[in-house]
């Protein structure tokens, strides 16, 4: 979670009211921010919501506090600009870009420090340390439009980097500039670097490393700005530029939109048009656990920065366009309860007792683990969140539907896995220095799309992996057979074609219902085989790998 520093007096100015320091910690909780300490004018705080990047600055915190005092900030006016930005980069690093223009902004020490801090936090948290997204701010008066986001060979890039006095080539910047040393590794593996260039062919920055000392130098004397975001995910860039636009508007800057041109495709940013959502009053009341009247619910939501219109037992809501976190009525209920105050909710005594025990499915998975450990396998644990590149492209087949996070904190952790196989291969890739043969297994959740309220379901899988110089198909098949037999079942293997496996060395695992229930033909419960050489190359693996994966949840129900 991002930690920030803000000025207490600056916060009061933006709120439009002198806030008492006593109780300030509770007041800041309206913005999901925990106050760590306050010394003099400086507040050190911990932001608790990665889905609300607009709150990682004084301006965002002030917005939430003002709303609780009855001052909404839903409608932001953005002028339609006349300038275009041409996106024409061939670099594999951060191919997407968006931008905006800010005029007549009033910068002082507080506003400038908050602008820099928000950019740093956005690039560090959402951008994974600039690897997936970076931000640049420039003095608009030193730039001539149209601007182009393009790419040049490293030998063609020469400019004066920020806080330096002499021109340097790209490779010199990497070796000598502090930002080059810190972020230059992001450009490893390519000599084609993304750059911003204006109409005078002046290099404004080398993305994602450093701005120029000319246009990229911004001070409290700067009145007009060009702001850009570059990255690997266009939707993430829109969230970022919207958060930055709201900050600029709160500092009384005039924001103009920019048309970002990708060939024949045009993307206009920023967009802060209020968004719409609807929720049931009865549902919000039930989630709260209290007997709130309809009028009380409406009042709480109005103080949570919503415009509310009641329609029978449903309410129609408008909320600020910079927010990207309202995906379910529970999100609305959360805002309502923050305004009410969690500490004000009367506690209710628990009127029933129960004895805890391990879930039966978990007991079954423990039994599976004991069987596999007995066969000489070592258990690993990997993350349920991954990305489409690891889940699909590296596994050598086209992307499939998967449960995705709408507003991920990082592109590296944006999709829920629907297979354990990529996790095993990543483990092998990270442990090439360890003695072979390597035998590992994992039991964990896979997430699949489905009908219902959550539109997803959790399924337990078990996967086994063997990596060694001397492996063959029979080795993984015999291990799976041993696991199935220990469960009192019998399996059959049927030839299967799968792009992740070598043709002719892959099979689906078929299991029949145990007697006396057996009446149907065998059903598929998993697959096994030897990983395709292309997949091994994708993971930078040098030795052959055998892998099997079974649906543990289905096996559990089969044995019930």
The closest of 269, 260, 151, 135 to 203, measured between CA atoms, is 151
Q: Domain check: are 375 and 485 in the same one?
A: yes
Q: Domain check: are 337 and 380 in the same one?
A: no
Question: Beta-carbon neighbour count of residue 347 at 10 Å?
Answer: 5
Q: Give all strands (DSSP E) within 225-280, no chain letters.
A: 225-231, 254-262, 265-269, 275-280
Q: Which of 296, 318, 343 delimits the end of a domain? A: 343
Q: Is residue 353 part of a domain?
A: no
The closest of 331, 329, 333, 324 to 406, measured between CA atoms, is 324
Q: What is the pLDDT of residues 265-287, one digit of tens each?
A: 999 999 999 999 999 999 999 99
CATH number at residue 63: 3.30.56.10
Q: Is residue 78 part of a domain?
A: no
Mean pLDDT, the chain, whole residue set: 91
Answer whether 18's CB lies under 8 Å from 56's CB.
no
Q: What is the mean pLDDT of residues 517-524?
A: 71
pLDDT tops 70 at residue 74: no
Share of the chain above pLDDT 90, in %: 71
Q: What is the pLDDT of residues 451-509, one digit of tens each?
A: 877 788 999 999 999 999 888 888 999 999 999 999 989 899 999 999 999 999 999 99
Q: Which residues are within 8 A (CB) of 62 and not within 5 positions of it... i.e. 6 or more apart?
A: 11, 14, 15, 250
Instruction: Quote the pLDDT of residue 413.
Output: 83
Q: Domain check: are 126 and 250 in the same one?
A: yes
Q: Which residues are within 8 A (CB) of 467 and not within 5 positions of it... i.e. 6 or more apart?
A: 428, 436, 437, 438, 541, 543, 544, 545, 546
At residue 472, the 3 state secondary structure works out as coil
Count up the domains in the chain and report the number.
Answer: 4
Answer whether 197's CB lies under 8 Å from 216's CB.
no
Q: Domain check: are 335 and 381 in the same one?
A: no
CA gap 524, 23 in Å, rounded: 60
Give 292's pLDDT tier (boundaries 50, 70, 90). Answer: very high
pLDDT tops 70 at residue 311: yes
CATH number at residue 115: 3.50.40.10
One-letter-per-residue 3-state SS of 336-377: HHHHHCHHHCCCCCCCCCCCCCCCHHHHHHHHHHHHHHHCCC
Q: Which of 343, 373, 389 delimits the end of a domain? A: 343
Question: Global pTM?
Answer: 0.70
Instruction: Quote the pLDDT of residue 201.
Output: 92
CA distances from 547 to 153, 466, 524 (A): 42, 6, 16
Instruction: Quote the pLDDT of residue 516.
Output: 58
Angle, nearest 10°, between helix axes 281-288 and 294-302?
90
Peptide bond preceding 146 in cis form (omega within 30 of 0): yes
Instruction: Quote the pLDDT of residue 274.
Output: 92
Q: Is residue 436 part of a domain?
A: yes
Instruction: Quote the pLDDT of residue 170.
Output: 93
Q: Which two tokens stand for residue 550?
A: 């079974």
* 315 DSSP β-pair partners: 279, 310
Instruction: Quote the pLDDT of residue 135.
Output: 95
Q: Is residue 350 part of a domain?
A: no
Instruction: Quote the pLDDT of residue 515.
Output: 66
**DSSP single-letter state for residue 241:** H
Q: Domain check: are 427 and 490 in the same one?
A: yes
Q: What is the mean pLDDT of residues 169-191?
A: 92
Give 180's pLDDT tier (boundaries 50, 70, 90). Answer: very high
The closest of 444, 432, 458 to 380, measured between CA atoms, is 444
* 261 DSSP β-pair partners: 86, 266
Q: Domain check: are 59 and 180 in the same one?
A: no
Q: Is residue 528 part of a domain?
A: yes
Q: Which two tokens stand for residue 261?
A: 């041109």
At residue 326, the 3 state secondary structure works out as coil
- The DSSP code sequence of 118-186 is HHHHIIIIITTTTTSEEEEEEEGGG--SSEEEEEEEGGG-EE-BTT--S-EEHHHHHHHSHHHHHHGGG
Q: Domain check: are 32 and 112 in the same one?
A: no
Q: Domain check: are 264 and 279 in the same one?
A: no
CATH number at residue 462: 3.30.930.10
Q: Domain check: are 114 and 227 in the same one?
A: yes
Q: What is the largest distance, in Å, between two alpha-carbon atoms of the chain?
A: 84
Q: Domain check: are 231 and 131 in the same one?
A: yes
Instruction: Quote the pLDDT of residue 520.
Output: 63
The closest of 204, 199, 207, 200 to 154, measured between CA atoms, is 207
CA gap 541, 427 in Å, rounded: 10
Q: Domain check: are 100 and 161 in the same one?
A: yes
pLDDT tops 60 at residue 519: no
Instruction: Quote the pLDDT of residue 59.
Output: 95
CA gap 66, 72 in Å, rounded: 7
User: What domain range includes position 61?
Assistant: 3-68
Answer whether 508's CB lies under 8 Å from 531's CB.
no
Q: What is the pLDDT of residues 201-251, one digit of tens each?
A: 999 999 999 999 999 889 989 999 999 999 998 999 999 999 999 999 999
State the pairing for strand pair 84-88/147-153: parallel
Q: What is the mean pLDDT of residues 178-197?
A: 92
- The DSSP code sequence of 35-85 is EEEEETTEEEEEE--TT-GGGSSHHHHHHHHHHHTT--------B----EE
Q: Would you give the end-to-end CA distance of the chain in angstroms?
A: 43
Q: Is residue 502 part of a domain?
A: yes
Q: Which of 41, 68, 95 delimits the end of a domain? A: 68
Q: Is residue 41 part of a domain?
A: yes
Q: Domain check: are 113 and 258 in the same one?
A: yes
pLDDT tops 80 at residue 406: no
Instruction: Quote the pLDDT of residue 472.
Output: 86
pLDDT tops 90 at residue 83: no
Q: Which residue has the higher pLDDT, 355 or 435?
A: 435
Give 343's pLDDT tier (boundaries 50, 70, 90). Answer: confident
């Amino acid at each position: 979670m991002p930690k920030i520093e803000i000025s207490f007096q600056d916060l009061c100015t933006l709120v439009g009211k002198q806030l008492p320091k006593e109780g300030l910690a509770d007041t800041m909780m309206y913005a999901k921010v925990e106050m760590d300490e306050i010394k003099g004018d400086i507040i050190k705080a911990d932001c608790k919501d990665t889905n609300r990047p607009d709150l990682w600055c004084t301006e965002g915190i002030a917005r939430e506090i003002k709303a609780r005092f009855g001052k909404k900030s839903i409608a932001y006016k953005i002028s339609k600009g006349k300038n275009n930005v041409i996106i024409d980069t061939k670099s594999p690093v951060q191919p997407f870009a968006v931008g905006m223009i800010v005029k007549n902004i009033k910068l002082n020490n507080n506003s400038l420090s908050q602008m820099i801090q928000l950019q740093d936090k956005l690039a560090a948290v959402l951008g994974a340390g600039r690897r997936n997204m970076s931000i640049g701010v420039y003095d608009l008066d030193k730039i001539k439009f149209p601007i182009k986001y393009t790419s040049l060979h490293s030998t063609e890039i020469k400019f004066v980097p920020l806080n330096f006095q002499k021109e340097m080539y790209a490779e010199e910047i990497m070796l000598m500039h502090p930002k080059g040393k810190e972020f230059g590794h992001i450009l490893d593996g390519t000599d084609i670097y993304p750059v911003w260039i204006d109409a005078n062919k002046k290099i404004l920055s080398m993305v994602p490393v450093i701005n120029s000392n000319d246009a990229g130098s911004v001070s409290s004397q700067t009145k007009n700005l060009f702001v850009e975001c570059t990255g690997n995910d266009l939707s993430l860039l829109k969230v970022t530029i919207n958060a930055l636009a709201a900050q600029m508007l709160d500092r009384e800057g005039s924001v103009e939109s920019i048309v970002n041109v990708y060939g024949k495709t045009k993307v206009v940013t920023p967009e802060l048009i209020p968004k719409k959502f609807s929720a049931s009053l009865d549902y919000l009341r039930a989630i709260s656990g209290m007997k709130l009247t309809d009028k009380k619910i409406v009042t709480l939501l109005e103080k949570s920065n919503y415009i509310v219109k009641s329609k029978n037992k449903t309410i129609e809501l408008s909320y600020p366009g910079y927010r990207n976190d309202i995906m379910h009525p529970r999100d609305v209920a959360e805002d309502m309860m923050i305004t009410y105050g969690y500490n004000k909710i009367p506690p209710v005594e628990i009127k029933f007792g129960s004895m805890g025990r391990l879930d039966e499915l978990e007991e079954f998975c423990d039994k599976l683990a004991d069987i596999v450990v007995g066969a000489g396998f070592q258990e690993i644990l990997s993350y349920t969140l991954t990305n489409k590149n690891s889940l699909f492209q590296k596994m050598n087949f086209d992307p499939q539907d998967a449960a995705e996070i709408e507003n991920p904190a990082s592109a590296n952790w944006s999709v829920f896995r629907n297979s354990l196989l990529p996790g095993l291969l990543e483990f092998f890739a990270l442990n090439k220095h360890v003695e072979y043969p390597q035998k590992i297994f994992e039991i964990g959740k896979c997430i699949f799309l489905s009908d219902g309220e959550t539109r997803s379901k959790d399924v337990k899988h078990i996967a086994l992996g063997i990596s060694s110089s001397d492996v063959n198909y029979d080795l993984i098949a015999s291990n799976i057979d041993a696991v199935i037999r220990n469960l009192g079942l019998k399996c059959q293997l049927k030839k299967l074609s799968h792009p992740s496996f070598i043709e002719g060395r892959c099979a689906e695992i078929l299991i029949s219902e145990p007697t006396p229930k057996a009446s149907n033909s065998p059903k598929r419960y998993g697959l096994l085989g030897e990983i395709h050489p292309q997949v091994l190359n994708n993971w930078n693996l040098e030795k052959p790998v055998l892998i099997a994966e079974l649906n543990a949840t289905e096996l559990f129900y089969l044995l019930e």
